[in-house]
Amino acid sequence: MSDDIHVLIVEADFYRDISDALLEGAKEVLDKVGAQYEVIRVPGCLEIPAAVRYAIKSMEFMGGRRRYDAYVALGCVIRGETSHYDTVSEESARALMDISTEYCIAIGNGIITCENNEQAWERALKDKKNKGGGAAQCALDMLDLKEHFGLFPR
To the query of whether residue 6 is one of the catalytic residues in this protein, the response is no
- d(CA 18, CA 127) in angstroms, rounded, equals 14
Per-residue b or e along 103-141, where b marks 16 or more CB atoms closer than 10 Å to that residue's CB: eebbbbbbbbbbeeeebbbebbbbeebbbbbbbbbbbbe
Catalytic hit among 84, 102, 104, 145: 84
Residues in the chain: 154
Which active-site residues does the annotation give?
Answer: 84
